[in-house]
Amino acid sequence: MLQPDTMAARLVACTACHGPQGRSGPDGYYPRIAGKPAEYLYHQLLHFREGERRYEPMRVLLDTMSDDYLREIAQWFSDQHPPYVPARSTRVDAAALERGRLMTLQGDAARGIPACAACHGATLTGVKPAIPGVLGLPHDYIAAQFGAWRAGLRKASAPDCMAEVARKLTPEDISAVAAWLSIQPVPNDGLPVETANLPQDCGSQTRSAGAR
């Protein structure tokens, strides 16, 4: 039973969808937020509250919360490290999975597409202070976020690197990357690395820290 007047008790409205401690929702759409970099989570909360990242239930939930309280929420979830939900199996064939692996780890230089690992870290568990990990997420959530970037529903300050990458990906690329990422084991408890040599400056490393 949750102790009253604790952050865990106050955030029941969050964990109702995102799972206990932010572990992830049971439906394959609500993502794991536990252990994500605090700056990343904070900026996502800001964007939801301001309607810059579009999901009305989140906007309504956060509407009256101050910036300081959003930072508290972000830090609390960042400090949580529950076990990862076991990855689901995939029906994607071996050729598509290999395509996803290559796109994730090597990118496609001929099309100007960097590897996911170039920004999200060699372990794909994120980079402090504001780049999230991409492992331990459901296939449907990953694919939906690529779609949101392509459609302009997710944005970052210029240069909007994720939007540029997403627009270069084909639907087949997206399905392959989402499938491969969704079945990978999560190393080092999913902890983000401290630093990384990023290929370029992106808006997602500044105030936007991901989506707007």
Over residues 58-102, the pLDDT tens digits come to 999 999 999 999 999 999 999 999 999 887 788 889 999 999 999
Per CATH, 7-78 and 94-205 having the same topology is answered yes
Q: Would you kindly state where each structural domain of the chain is located, as residue ranges?
A: 7-78, 94-205
Q: Tell whether 17 is in a known binding site.
A: yes
pTM of the model: 0.87
The better pLDDT of the pair 200, 130 is held by 130
* Statement: residue 197 has pLDDT above 70: no
Q: Tens of pLDDT along 118-141?
A: 999 999 999 998 899 999 998 999
Q: Tell whether 14 is in a known binding site.
A: yes
The average pLDDT across 164-192 equals 94
Instruction: State the number of CA atoms in the 13 A half-sphere of 193 facing the CB.
Output: 16
Whether CATH 3.40.50.920 fits 7-78? no
Q: Tell whether 116 is in a known binding site.
A: yes
Q: Tell whether 18 is in a known binding site.
A: yes
Q: How many Cβ atoms are within 10 Å of 62's Cβ, its own excluded? A: 18
Task: CATH number for 94-205: choose from 1.10.760.10, 3.30.420.40, 1.20.1260.10, 3.40.50.12280.
Answer: 1.10.760.10
Q: Tell whether 139 is in a known binding site.
A: no
Q: Tell whether 7 is in a known binding site.
A: no
Q: Which of 28-37, 66-75, 110-119, 171-180 has the lowest mean pLDDT?
A: 28-37
Q: Tell whether 162 is in a known binding site.
A: yes
